[in-house]
Every structure is written in structure tokens, then in C-alpha cells.
Amino acid sequence: MIFLFYLLSAIMIVCALLVVFSRNPINNVIYLILCFIAMAGHYILLNAQFLAVVHIIVYTGAIMVLFLFVIMLLNLNKAIIFRKSTVTRVSAVVTGGIFFLVLLAATRQTFEIHAKYPFNSDIGLVSGIGKALFGEFLLPFEISSILFISAMVGAMMFGKKDE
């Protein structure tokens, strides 16, 4: 299990880095897909089978396909390289570095916190998630339909040609 964890993490990190550094948009998308699949593997290690599969169906199977679709239609074979001024670059590096430090600080004490809340192996199974969604989180679950309907209305408005 530990070995799998490190393997999946290594794949994820390498793929995530490749997403950033690869110049070809199609390759970026493919590395991102690999990254997502490795993440699904992490879910399975946590016994969250439902989450793992839904993650694959939604992110890998639907969202990234659309991504790939758009990139193919736009025919972005070569990434457009934006030339940035030195000031922008330096400030971006400094900002990123500071952000990294902040996150490092944030996760410094995770081990203490981890000890306080024992792992619940049923949390990611379909029955557990179903009960949580239709019990405690019923209102957020239902109200998010408003979110989706407004997004759909938007898609219609932007997509439809005005005669």
C-alpha cells in the first residue's frame, strides 16, 4: 500500500510538472489526464471507490475530452510563447515562491491533525456519500441545481445565433 502510494504520488507529481513544462497543448492535456487517473488511484487507496470512478467519469471522461476537443478544433499544435518582461518574470517567481512557502507552512502540522481524526473507511463508498448528500448536505445538493440551470441558460444565450 505504501509502495503504491508513493508510486501514484510520483506519477502525479511528474505528470503535473509535465503539464506545466510541456510545450505542446495536446501533450499537456494528456499529462493532465494521467494525473487525474493517478488521483483516482489515490481515491482507491483510501477505499473511496465511488469517488475514484466518478472522478474518472467526470474529469477524465467528460471534461478533459472537451478540453482535447477544443484544442483539436483550434488546432493549437504549437504553444504560443508569450514574451514577458523581466520584471513580470521575477515578480511571478517571487510570488510563486512565497505561495509555496505559505502552503508549506500550512501543511507543516498536518500530522498532528491527522492523529486527531481517525480515518473512516466507509466515507468514500457510494452508500456513505449518498447518505451524506441526501442527509446533512441536502440543501447544498439541491440548491446547486440553480447553479447548473444558470450555467445552462448562459450556454444557450452565448451559443444561440441571434437572427
Where along the sequence are the contacts to another protein (CB under 8 A)?
26, 30, 33, 49-50, 53-54, 56-57, 60-62, 65-66, 68-69, 72-73, 102-103, 105-110, 113, 116-117, 125-126, 135-140, 143-144, 146-147, 149-151, 153-154, 156-158, 160, 162
CB of 49 to another protein, least distance (A): 5
Cβ neighbour number for residue 37 with a 10 Å cutoff: 18
Comparison of 83 and 116: residue with beta carbon closer to another protein? 116
User: E-assigned strands of 20-134?
Assistant: none
Comparison of 45 and 50: residue with beta carbon closer to another protein? 50
Cα dihedral across residues 35, 38, 39, 40: positive or negative:
positive
Cβ(99)–Cβ(92) under 8 Å?
no
Cβ neighbour number for residue 158 with a 10 Å cutoff: 7
CB of 33 to another protein, least distance (A): 7
- Gyration radius from the chain CA atoms: 20
Comparison of 66 and 87: residue with beta carbon closer to another protein? 66
Write the DSSP assignment of 66-94 as a string of letters: HHHHHHHHHT--SPPPPP--HHHHHHHHH
CB of 67 to another protein, least distance (A): 11
Comparison of 5 and 99: residue with beta carbon closer to another protein? 99
